[in-house]
Amino acid sequence: MSGAETGLPTTPAPEPSGAERRSRLRRYQAQLLERMHDAQSGNSAAGRELGVLFGASRCLLDLTQIGEIVPWQAPSAVPLARDWYLGLANIRGQLTGVIDFARYLDYAATPPAADSRIITFAPGLGFNCALLGARVLGLRKLDDMTPAPLADDAPSWCVQQFLDQEGQLWSRLDLALLVREERFLQVGL
């Protein structure tokens, strides 16, 4: 019986230790990676997208268009680059261009934090690039969301919008279209 059922006061569960939190995070990341690999090989259920927070925008990324999700690491700056192009990071032996996608969307710069993640593009896109997100919000099922009308001024790479059960707007991005956008290709000043 719980404390609420007996009328006795309950004590909250103790906070997990740092090691326990890291272990949970590793398990979550391993499960997410497994689902991403399943999606890329066609073994997963359709309609699952990765939710990522870029500035104030909640975005959905097709699992087949992303490579991996890695913790924040400071890239090496590139001179005379746009403020949203953070530079180059060595991700598993590959030099990868890192874009602060919030800055690209004209939001404030994403401050490096424990929740910040670098999301690499899938090799099939042929573009060695990654987006910096403030937080990964986990997998989202499109079936659990309601389609919303796309804004008239939405960029070509924003292909759909949805409302979740809490009424929050999500934008579904097509990274294959993003890498063709001229502004995205022009990182130099």
User: How much is the pLDDT for 47?
Assistant: 80
Cα Rg of the chain (Å, integer): 19
Chain position carrying tokens 């699952």: 48
Chain position carrying tokens 């906070």: 15
Q: How many domains does the chain have?
A: 1
- In a domain, residue 180? The reply is no
- In a domain, residue 5? The reply is no
- In a domain, residue 12? The reply is no
* Phi, psi at 180, each rounded to 5°: -100, -10
Residue 39 and residue 74: Cα distance in Å, rounded?
Answer: 29
111: domain range? 19-144
- In a domain, residue 59? The reply is yes
User: How much is the pLDDT for 91?
Assistant: 95
Query: CATH code at 118?
Result: 2.40.50.180
User: How much is the pLDDT for 102?
Assistant: 97
Comparing CA positions, the residue from 86, 170, 174 lying closest to residue 130 is 86
- In a domain, residue 8? The reply is no
- In a domain, residue 171? The reply is no
**What's the whole-model pTM score?**
0.76
Amino acid found at 129: C
Asked if 107 contacts 20 with a C-beta cutoff of 8 angstroms, the reply is no
- In a domain, residue 6? The reply is no
User: How much is the pLDDT for 165?
Assistant: 94
Q: How many CA atoms lie within 13 A of 181 on its CB side?
A: 14
User: How much is the pLDDT for 27?
Assistant: 60
- In a domain, residue 63? The reply is yes
Chain position carrying tokens 């326990």: 20
Mean pLDDT per 10-residue section of the chain, whose length is 189 residues: 44 59 60 55 66 97 96 95 97 95 96 94 95 96 95 93 96 97 94
